[in-house]
Structure 1
Amino acid sequence: MASAEVALHTGGTRVASKWKTVILASLGGSLEIYDFIIYGVFAKEISALFFPSADPVVALISAFGIFAIGYVSRPLGGILLGSLGDRHGRRAIFIVSLLAMSGATVGIGLIPSYAAIGIWAPILLIIMRLIQGFFLAGELACSITYVVEEIPKRASLVSGMVIFCLNSGVLVATLVSLTLHASMSPTDLGIYGWRIAFIFGGFLGLISYFLRRSLEESSEYRNMRGHVAKRPFRTVLREYPTQVVAGIASTAIVNVSNTLLFVVLPSYLSGVLRYPGAQVSLGQNIGIAVMSVSLIAFAWLGSKVSPRTIHRLGSLVIVATSFFFYQKLVAHDINLILAFVWIGLIGGTINGTYSFLLADLFPTSVRFSGIAVTLNAATVIFTGITPLIVTNAIHLSGYLAAPGLYLSCAGAISLIVGLLLGKCGGELKSSAT
């Protein structure tokens, strides 16, 4: 009896330790994504200081151009950091990426305006964004890889937890925006208020660094030390090209819909459709909060129902409703708060399942590289250019509901590929796949 009690206690302690590790790995991602997304939240203020123009839409296009540049360095970052993570371990990538991201974020907050240093202002902004993009490339892939290898029997839930914490990081960014908008005049916010948000992000990165110092390597990685891939990136491209393409296509809807919600909608609704800025900021926070609850619920449901099925249903709903939804927004024929609640609920179906789908595509030996290549290729194709596409479409055509058409196209891509996704992957058997 005593031996049984000791074994039970030891097992419980081990499980608790694993969940603590999962939470630490996931929380770090939330603090780091804040650093990257805060740029989009304050794109309107940044465009005025760094890209002065008589036409606010043109200035916004310039600011979103720099936002897109932040994704240029992500493929290289994904390749290098993913290969290092598969060859030498996940932990080191966690630590280095945090410090680099934090430094670049503080750097953006300290760059003088165009009026002060001229062309050097946007040049320095580009450099900082490239640094952010490079090191963020390994962050999400590393977190997903780490948690599904630590608790593979609950892969759907723990991978969803990573996205939940990532979403929470975005929520922190929008809450900071809401606080600054509520406490500062528009003039002060445009001059220096937005800089506070970036410097604050740097301190969040340091907190994340200290949280992650206690992390060890994932259990599955430690168990396969003798079978580490020598050239994981080449192995992924040579042996798993179908999985890479399927992963990119299936996450198209995630990248486009999240970019619209996190980055484009604040400036689009207030600057183009003339909704009150405070109402837009409040609605966005509510939408992100609803999505956070929704996605973790669907991640849990993924242990009972196939995550692929949930992802397909979410994609189908987005394809069927996006065009009409944006027409309602343009006509001011919808309650803005309820609109954001709807976005959050539907967004949870795809955000709560896509990380599991990606992890399921690749074996442990190249999982980090496979997820990194897939995620970062998808972000370059569908995330970095989304603000540019929708703002230019509105500017050139004058059709204000253009974002809805673009979102429907991305959803169609994910839906079609999602119907074929069952032919790929299948290594993670813990959920109802």
Structure 2
Amino acid sequence: MSAQDVAAPSSAQLTGKASKTERKNLRALSWGHALEWYDWAIFGLLSSYLGGHFFPAGNELASTLNALAVFAVGFVARPIGGIIFGSMADRLGRRKVMIFAIAAVAAGSFVIGVTPGYETIGAAAPILVVAMRLLQGLSAGVEAPLGTAFALELVPNRPGYVSGIFGFFNNLGNLLAPLSIFFLTQLITGDNLAEWGWRIPFIIGGVFGLIVLWLRTTLPETLDVGDAREANAEKQQRSSVWGDVRKYWLSVLATVFIVGAIQAYNYTWIAGLPNLARAAFQEDPAAVFGITTGFGILMTLGALFLSKVLDRFAMSKVFIVARILAIPTIFLSLLYTQPGIGTFAGVMFGGAIVLLLNMTIFVTISNSLLPQHIRGTGLGLGYGFGVALFGGTASYLLLWLQSEGMFWMFPVYIATLCAISVVLYVLAKNRNGIFVGK
């Protein structure tokens, strides 16, 4: 184990409160999380408008599908970004990489918002949009795992508090995206929204990113990287990082399933079921929007509540209980096999509490399996592949299985992933120990 590693705090240490400086540092990191998820959701929600401007294909459906394909490019880029920039964070320090991450998110959002359409600049328009989504995907691959790792190093005695605050801001970003579009539709006409109004949320994201960028420049560094500034020392450290990642291969593999299983569950609730309600069962869009907004509010405020109570419990035990509870809960989705807005609401809110608990702690749990000096690399690798392999494909798989009359297979698939994640977590914990919480 490296001398840089920090031992897990004792029970007495975990009862302490975060200082004013720690809270300030946490805000600088977590607001970036909110911006990332806001931007990610905005692109998906406004895909039909982007498609017509940047990807003309003869009809609205084809243009929208082209835009959604570009949305998927961001998922493909995530593991690449996690590996590249996670490794850089373990060699050069957290602060520089986190500043780059938020700068990439803000720049991508702003450029998409101001780029002229296909009719004005031709093929340069879709090329620019694809390039910005790739940049944002690379950033997203390191923002969530490394941001939480950085926060746990800045506020080492309150892992539950860190988990809850990050969960709050993640959910806040997801919630602000549809709300901003809703208010925009109240201020301008549908034609203006389609013509130019859709650009406003992207530009706002870019401008707000500058504020978060400034906040992150005030963050201290938590990793001792002085020796790595010399070329030979940097080469040795790079070799040590990847060598230790291989030693902790079971922890990395566990992270893939810890992240992938709950992200598959998450995308089922926030995208799969709402799309099933609208596209397959033709539910009232206003009712679906109202239910999903209420669900988002519950997730956001629930994470804030958890930030105040999680440190009273052993995080490892909370994870095992929460993940086991997810196995039967995912089968609630089988109740929604035909139209019925009441059933849809019941399923959405019935699965919310278990999803909330899992989504609040899963990144912290992944951090706990790896020592400090390889968290950037190990988490970037495990988190990126977990989201890309299981999270990003969940909504498509749900709708496809439903169309083929095999919807029952979907909860079996998610339940299996959850079970595997528990087994791998216990094996990795027993073999390597834990480095965060207790």
**Structure 1: unaligned runs, 5 residues or longer:** 1-11
Q: Are 1:414 and 2:418 matched, yes or no?
A: yes
CA–CA distance in structure 2, aligned partners of residues 23 and 179 of structure 1: 26
Aligned to 2:79: 75
2:29 to 25, 41, 52: 25
CA–CA distance in structure 1, aligned partners of residues 134 and 373 of structure 2: 28
Moved more, 310-319 or 61-70: 310-319
Matched AA of 1:174: P
CA–CA distance in structure 1, aligned partners of residues 274 and 56 of structure 2: 19
Moved more, 347-356 or 30-39: 30-39
Query: Following TM superposition, by how much is the alpha carbon of 1:142 offset from its aligned partner in structure 2, in angstroms?
Result: 2.1
Aligned to 1:360: 368
CA–CA distance in structure 2, aligned partners of residues 184 and 270 of structure 1: 24
Moved more, 341-350 or 385-394: 385-394
CA–CA distance in structure 1, aligned partners of residues 168 and 397 of structure 2: 27
Q: Are 1:278 and 2:286 matched, yes or no?
A: yes
CA–CA distance in structure 1, aligned partners of residues 428 and 304 of structure 2: 24
Aligned to 1:427: 434
Q: Are 1:231 and 2:239 matched, yes or no?
A: yes
Percent of counterpart pairs with the same letter? 23
User: TM-score if structure 2 supplies the norm length?
Assistant: 0.82
CA–CA distance in structure 1, aligned partners of residues 113 and 144 of structure 2: 24
Q: Is the 8 A contact 1:106 1:201 kept in 2?
A: yes
Render the CA deviation track for 1:125-147: whole Å, top value 9, x for unaligned.
Answer: 32221111012222112211111
Query: Following TM superposition, by how much is the alpha carbon of 1:233 offset from its aligned partner in structure 2, in angstroms?
Result: 5.1
Q: Are 1:64 and 2:76 matched, yes or no?
A: no
After superposition, where does 1:339-378 map in structure 2 within 5 Å?
A: 339-378=347-386
Q: Are 1:93 and 2:97 matched, yes or no?
A: yes
CA–CA distance in structure 1, aligned partners of residues 423 and 346 of structure 2: 30
Summarize the Cα distance change of 1:410–1:233 in structure 2 as closer, same or farther, 3 Å threshold: farther
After superposition, where does 1:174-253 map in structure 2 within 5 Å?
A: 174-218=178-222, 221-222=223-224, 229-231=237-239, 234-253=242-261
CA RMSD, aligned part only?
A: 3.2
Q: Are 1:34 and 2:38 matched, yes or no?
A: yes
CA–CA distance in structure 2, aligned partners of residues 315 and 59 of structure 1: 39
Q: Are 1:305 and 2:282 matched, yes or no?
A: no
CA–CA distance in structure 2, aligned partners of residues 97 and 130 of structure 1: 12
Render the CA deviation track for 1:129-166: whole Å, top value 9, x for unaligned.
Answer: 11110122221122111111122221232133223212
Question: Secondary structure of 2:340's match?
Answer: coil
CA–CA distance in structure 1, aligned partners of residues 57 and 325 of structure 2: 40
Q: Are 1:109 and 2:113 matched, yes or no?
A: yes
Query: Following TM superposition, by how much is the alpha carbon of 1:287 offset from its aligned partner in structure 2, in angstroms?
Result: 1.1
**Structure 2: unaligned runs, 5 residues or longer:** 1-15
Query: Following TM superposition, by how much is the alpha carbon of 1:263 offset from its aligned partner in structure 2, in angstroms?
Result: 4.4
Summarize the Cα distance change of 1:122–1:388 in structure 2 as closer, same or farther, 3 Å threshold: farther
Question: Secondary structure of 1:428's match?
Answer: coil
Matched AA of 2:169: C
Matched AA of 1:143: G
CA–CA distance in structure 2, aligned partners of residues 236 and 182 of structure 1: 54
Number of equivalent positions: 413
2:147 to 139, 143, 146: 143
Query: Following TM superposition, by how much is the alpha carbon of 1:366 offset from its aligned partner in structure 2, in angstroms?
Result: 0.9
Query: Following TM superposition, by how much is the alpha carbon of 1:40 offset from its aligned partner in structure 2, in angstroms?
Result: 1.7
1:290 to 266, 285, 298: 298
Summarize the Cα distance change of 1:205–1:273 in structure 2 as closer, same or farther, 3 Å threshold: farther
CA–CA distance in structure 2, aligned partners of residues 407 and 51 of structure 1: 37
Query: Following TM superposition, by how much is the alpha carbon of 1:66 offset from its aligned partner in structure 2, in angstroms?
Result: 1.8
Q: Is the 8 A contact 2:265 2:330 kept in 1?
A: no
Query: Following TM superposition, by how much is the alpha carbon of 1:52 offset from its aligned partner in structure 2, in angstroms?
Result: 4.5
Matched AA of 1:311: F
Aligned to 2:4: none
Query: Following TM superposition, by how much is the alpha carbon of 1:91 offset from its aligned partner in structure 2, in angstroms?
Result: 0.9
Moved more, 263-272 or 137-146: 263-272
Moved more, 186-195 or 137-146: 186-195
2:391 to 383, 391, 395: 383
Summarize the Cα distance change of 1:268–1:66 in structure 2 as closer, same or farther, 3 Å threshold: farther
CA–CA distance in structure 1, aligned partners of residues 60 and 409 of structure 2: 25
Query: Following TM superposition, by how much is the alpha carbon of 1:186 offset from its aligned partner in structure 2, in angstroms?
Result: 4.0
Query: Following TM superposition, by how much is the alpha carbon of 1:270 offset from its aligned partner in structure 2, in angstroms?
Result: 3.1
CA–CA distance in structure 2, aligned partners of residues 166 and 333 of structure 1: 27
CA–CA distance in structure 1, aligned partners of residues 307 and 324 of structure 2: 18
Question: Secondary structure of 2:282's match?
Answer: coil
Question: Secondary structure of 1:71's match?
Answer: helix
Summarize the Cα distance change of 1:25–1:275 in structure 2 as closer, same or farther, 3 Å threshold: same
Q: Are 1:259 and 2:267 matched, yes or no?
A: yes
Matched AA of 1:328: Y
Q: Is the 8 A contact 1:315 1:411 kept in 2?
A: no
Render the CA deviation track for 1:385-416: whole Å, top value 9, x for unaligned.
Answer: 3344345445xx354x84x7435412321223
Matched AA of 1:37: A
CA–CA distance in structure 2, aligned partners of residues 225 and 106 of structure 1: 37
CA–CA distance in structure 1, aligned partners of residues 17 and 257 of structure 2: 40
CA–CA distance in structure 2, aligned partners of residues 349 and 143 of structure 1: 19
